[in-house]
Structure 1
Amino acid sequence: MEQETGLNILAVSIFTITLSALLSPLLHLSPYIPAGVTFILLGLVTIDTLSWKNQGVNLLLNIFASSEQKQRIIYHEAGHFLTAYLYQIPIEGYTLSAWEAIKNNNSGLGGVIFNTSFLEKKSQDMREFNLQIDRFGVVLMAGIAGEKIIYNNSQGGEEDYQKFQEINRNITMTVSNLEMKKRLAILQATTIIEQNKNAYLALVEAMKQRQSVSECQKIISEYIN
């Protein structure tokens, strides 16, 4: 969703600059004006990509995002949060906008921040380690599941799928098997959210109010108990 919108913004910018260059003789504008704008725009895009990790584009996307897109982010991240809590994967924080992410030294338009130290060193019990990998895979796909439950489709999740591929990179499997594992993880996440729908919706409201991680976890536990 982010990449698609970013490409649309870039395409509109290029079209606008090209149009201004073509119309500048009719409008009696100096040819240096569209050339200067092009130079500045390309310079800003380069700096944003190399130094700011596309956070400038993310901020721009956030400004022009519709209310539905902003709501989708919350439902998406609540899916991650709920499943991580139920699978006892430590949650360190969450952000729901590009600006919040920047303030927390994170990238993207927002997200739940996990403590993934368990992925860095394998347990002596490989069966337990693989179980943790599978559970975290479900957590990563739970954002897509949350969106589909509310909107019947998903517009986000590309970054989640990249992480899903990363955590499974040391497991020998074909592309088709990885895709099958992804679909199974989405199905499992959907089942978890559906079975805890009231807790999920209460969590969404708490996250809208930017309540702390501990407060959100308390709300989940109250509904589940």
Structure 2
Amino acid sequence: MAIVAGLVAPAAKPLGLSGARRRQHRGRWRVAAAAAAEVDLKALGSAIDKKDSQEARQALDELKELGWAKRWSSQPYMSRRTTSLRELTNLGIKNAENLAIPSVRNDAAFLFTVVGTTGFLAVLAGQLPGDWGFFVPYLTGSISLVVLAIGSISPGLLQVAIGSFSAVFPDYQERIARHEAAHFLVAYLTGLPILGYSLDIGKEHVNLVDDQLQKLLYSGQLDQKEVDRLAVISMAGLAAEGLEYDKVVGQSADLFTLQRFLNRTKPPLGKAQQQNLTRWAVLIAASLLKNNKAAHDALVSAMSQKATVLGCIEAIENAS
């Protein structure tokens, strides 16, 4: 990792050069130095392409030492504390008391559309002559019953259809981008590199790969510090939606991920401790997003345009 710098030396100073002229020359030197200095991101790009978290972390650490990756791992560890709903509300989280309640907006809209459409078609089909006027409405109406049965027995099978249908909401794509960008940014700020992401409907995620962390997860030996950091990252998407919208839609997957982490902690946490940890994690994540709003907005824009992971990191670091 290196900085390629080529300084343009000023011309020799003649005798009797005024103070204003000297300041002008010094200013030109600084401008030339800043313009010529470029950071080599090839090592970081290579590590990301190889999905090598250790190399990516090392490359980012070196870039931070060189003064470029200033936001990387910039958030110091903060131990958890008792957190109230009032604190979340005061921070700007809308309807904080309902954050953990899974949203049924997309499910309800999908169900109402299926039932309404099939019912309407069944009524129209009833006007067909002869036996067609009996069998077609019957078959059309049974579609709703089949959908309800699948939703009751194996709701996961409907998630792709529900996710695709959710795209009809004007705010859905923006929600996805803002949600996933929050996970990306908070992970970056707390020192965990993101090596991939997707905003495709039904496949929304950020790829958090860390070999050491995976070993701790599989062994069930996550300590409090790691649990706290993972909790903040997990709740970042929920926090981003809570700051922007009256109702959070994408919290179910985040809460499931957090619960998976909590199930592997030692010593295990009680229900009251888990609830408090969730609130505290939302508070910290929301604080980070508000304090780094320019970086979050820049990252949302970059991810919406399907920028590479390296391009997303550049967007974070170049945000004013």
Normalised to the residue count of structure 2, the TM-score between the two structures is 0.56
**SS at the partner of 1:97?**
coil
The root-mean-square deviation of aligned C-alpha atoms, in Å, is 3.3
1:176 aligned onto 2:176: no
Contact 1:21-1:31 within 8 A present in 2 as well: no
Cα separation, partners in 2 of 1:9 and 1:77, compared to 1, 3 Å: same
Alignment gaps of 5+ in structure 1: 99-107
Q: Which residue is equivalent to 1:195?
A: 291
Q: Residues 2 and 116 (structure 1 numbering): CA distance in 2 closer, same or farther, change over 3 Å?
A: farther
Q: CA shift at 1:221, angstroms?
A: 2.4
Report if aligned partners of 1:17, 1:37 keep a CA contact under 8 Å in 2.
yes
Report the secondary structure of 1:173's partner residue.
coil
Partner of 2:251: 157
Counterpart position of 2:169: 65
Deviates more, 1:109-118 or 1:75-84: 109-118
Question: SS where residue 30 of structure 1 aligns?
Answer: helix
Distance 1:38 1:202 in 2: 48
In the TM superposition, 1:52-201 aligns within 5 A as 54-62=159-167, 64-66=168-170, 68-98=171-201, 108=202, 110-115=204-209, 117-122=211-216, 129-151=223-245, 153-171=247-265, 172-201=268-297
Is the CA contact 1:90–1:114 (under 8 Å) kept in the aligned structure 2? Answer: yes
Separation in 2, partners of 1:166, 1:82 = 21
Structure 1 residue 22, shift from structure 2 partner: 5.4
The answer on whether the counterparts of 2:110 and 2:165 sit within 8 Å (CA) in structure 1 is no
Query: Contact (CA 8 Å) 1:144, 1:186: kept in 2 or not?
Result: yes
Larger radius of gyration: 2
8 Å Cα contact 2:178/2:241 also seen in 1: yes
Unaligned runs of 5+ in 2: 1-101
Aligned to 1:212: 308
State the Cα deviation string for residues 178-216 of structure 1 (Å, max 9, x = none): 111101000000111112111111111111211111111
Deviations 1:122-155 (A, max 9, x none): 29xx998431221111011111111223335523
**TM-score computed with the length of structure 1 as normaliser:** 0.77
Q: 1:71 to 1:8 in 2, by over 3 A?
A: same
Structure having the higher helix fraction is 1
Q: 1:128 to 1:13 in 2, by over 3 A?
A: closer
Q: Aligned partners of 2:122 and 2:247: how far apart in 1?
A: 40
Structure 1 residues 52, 137: closer, same or farther in 2, change over 3 A? same
Distance 1:153 1:17 in 2: 29
Instruction: Report if the CA contact (8 A) 1:2-1:61 is conserved.
Output: no
**What's the offset of the Cα at 1:119?**
4.3
Q: Would the aligned equivalents of 2:122 and 2:141 in 1 still touch at CA under 8 Å?
A: no
Partner of residue 112, structure 2 = 11
> How many pairs were matched up?
210
Secondary structure of the 2:215 match is coil
